[in-house]
Amino acid sequence: MKVFKKIVELQNELFSCRKENKTVGLVPTMGALHEGHASLVKRSVEENDVTVVSVFLNPTQFNDKGDLERYPRTLEADCQLAETCGADYVFAPSVGEIYPEGDNRHFEFPPQSTVMEGAKRPGHFNGVCQIVSRLFYIVRPDRAYFGEKDWQQIAVIKRLVDFIGMKDTIRIVECPIVRDADGLAKSSRNTLLTADERAVAPKIYEALQASVEYARTHGVAETRDKVVAEINSVEGLEVEYFEIVDGSTLLEVASWEQSPYIVGCITVYCGKTPVRLIDHIKYRG
C-alpha cells in the first residue's frame, strides 16, 4: 500500500491505473478509523480494482473549534487498518494541499442540508460538500463509499453529485451501520467517552429499537416524546433533537401515513464534557 500526501502524485498513480481500465473506489474519512470504516474499505476492495482511502480532518465542516481540536488523530494506525483491509492507497493531504487558497464555494441543498444537523451546526454541510467535491475532482472514483450512520450526510452528498455534474459517473454506495455488541454505533467520537459514559451510551439505540414496536400503536408525536423522555431519564445523556422525518425530503412528518419511507434521526450529548453522538432508526420503508 502507498501513502500519498500530494494531489499530483496520487493523480499520476491513478492515471496509470485508468490506462489499464481499472475501476477506482474511494472511501472518504476524517481518520480515527474503526470497524465501521473497515467495512467500507473491504466493500470497496471487493467491488473495485483499486481502492483509495482518504484521511483528512476537514476543518471547514466544524463550526465548533473545540470539537475540531478534540477529534482524534491516529494516522499511523489508520494506515495500518487500511492496509489490513486491502486498500491500495491512502491519501493524507495537509489542509494547505486541499485548500491552498481557502474555499469560498458555498453549497446549500435545502431541505436536506438545512434541517436537523444543518440547523444545529451552521456551515457543517457546506464544509462536507467542499471536501467531498474536492476529493471527487481529485480522485474521480467510479464508486464512493459512505456509512449510513451519517444518514443525513448521504442525502446531501447525493444532491451534491447531481449539482457538480457527476451523478452519472460516480455511484454513491451506502453501507450499513456497524455496531458494537451492545448496539452503540461505531464512531470515531466513541474513543472520547469515559468508561462510565461508554456504559450508558447504548441506551440511545435501545430506546430507538423499542420505539419501533411502540410506534405500531401510537402516533408520531407520542413516539417522539417517548424516545426523548426515555433517553433523558438516563444520567449522562441529553437529547439535542429527535426528529421523525420523510426519508427522502428529511422534512418532519405528522403521521405514519404521510410517507412510505419514515426515519427517526437523533443526536444525543453524552457525558460531562459532552460527546455528540448521532444515530437513526427506520420506521417505514
Q: Is the pTM of this model over 0.85?
A: yes
Asked if residue 88 lies in contact with residue 51, where contact means CB atoms within 8 angstroms, the answer is: yes
Domain with CATH 3.30.1300.10 in the chain: 188-284
| Residue 124 annotated as lining a ligand binding site | no
Asked if omega into 274 is within 30° of 0 (cis), the reply is no
Mean pLDDT of the 266-282 span:
96
Cell of 46: 471487493
Question: Rg of the Cα trace of the chain?
Answer: 19
Which pLDDT tens digit goes with each residue over 5-38? 999 999 999 999 999 999 999 999 999 999 999 9
Q: Indicate which residues carry an active-site annotation.
A: 37
The pLDDT > 70 percentage for the chain reads: 100
| Residue 32 annotated as lining a ligand binding site | yes
| Residue 196 annotated as lining a ligand binding site | no
More confident residue, 63 or 177: 177
- How far is it, in rounded angstroms, from Cα 24 to Cα 33? 20
Domain with CATH 3.40.50.620 in the chain: 2-175
The class of domain 188-284 in CATH terms is alpha beta
Given a cut of 90, whether residue 66 has pLDDT beyond it is: no
pLDDT of residue 102: 86
Which helix (DSSP H) or strand (DSSP E) does residue 114 occupy?
Answer: none
| Residue 178 annotated as lining a ligand binding site | yes
CATH 3.40.630.30 for domain 2-175: no
| Residue 49 annotated as lining a ligand binding site | no
Which pLDDT tens digit goes with each residue over 126-181? 999 999 999 999 999 999 999 999 999 999 999 999 999 999 999 999 999 999 99
